[in-house]
Amino acid sequence: MATMYLSKSRILFFKCWECHSWSLEFGSSPCLPFLETLNFPNLSKLTNDPVHYNPTWPLVPTKIPPGIPKFEGKFGEDSADHVTTFHLWCSSKSLIDDSIRLRFFQHSLNRNVTKWYIKLKGGSFSTFGELATMFLNHF
């Protein structure tokens, strides 16, 4: 077995419970070679964060208010309508800070749209407007 750790620099590490070795890839421990045959997905992409954080931003609420609009990227689904609906939803929940909207937007994405978000380069944007522009240009 192995334990997953996320460092302060947002690097994902795994520690083997048996030999206590450290690794950047799950299943690469010398005492657990069979894990490599299980074809686990590369989880390092899940730690990628395209948001460029500012330490002065307020904390994000720990619970997402109900009713967040969802965008799946289906044929005929309007991305501009989604950005507008999301913006109105945030306003109705008193989530008026731009940085909170920026960090909540990822929760409004489903399926392949989530994959698009995860694949964005780390630190790609620092405002909701920048993210919305990237989103609208892509979808």
66-107: pLDDT as tens digits: 999 999 999 999 999 999 999 999 999 999 899 999 989 999
Using CB atoms within 10 A of its CB, is residue 51 exposed (0-12), middle (13-18) or buried (19+)?
buried
What span, in angstroms and rounded, lies between the C-alpha atoms of 95 and 87? 9
- Split at pLDDT 50, 70, 90, the class of 33 is low
Give Cβ neighbours of residue 58 (< 8 Å, ≥ 6 apart).
97, 99, 100
| Run of H or E including 64 | none
Specify the length of the chain in residues.
Answer: 139
> What band does 7 get if pLDDT is binned at 50, 70 and 90?
very low
If you average pLDDT over every residue of the chain, what do you get? 77
Contact 109, 71 (CB under 8 A): yes
Q: Is the pLDDT of residue 6 over 80?
A: no
Rounded to 5, what percent of the chain is helix, strand, coil?
40, 10, 50
pTM: 0.64
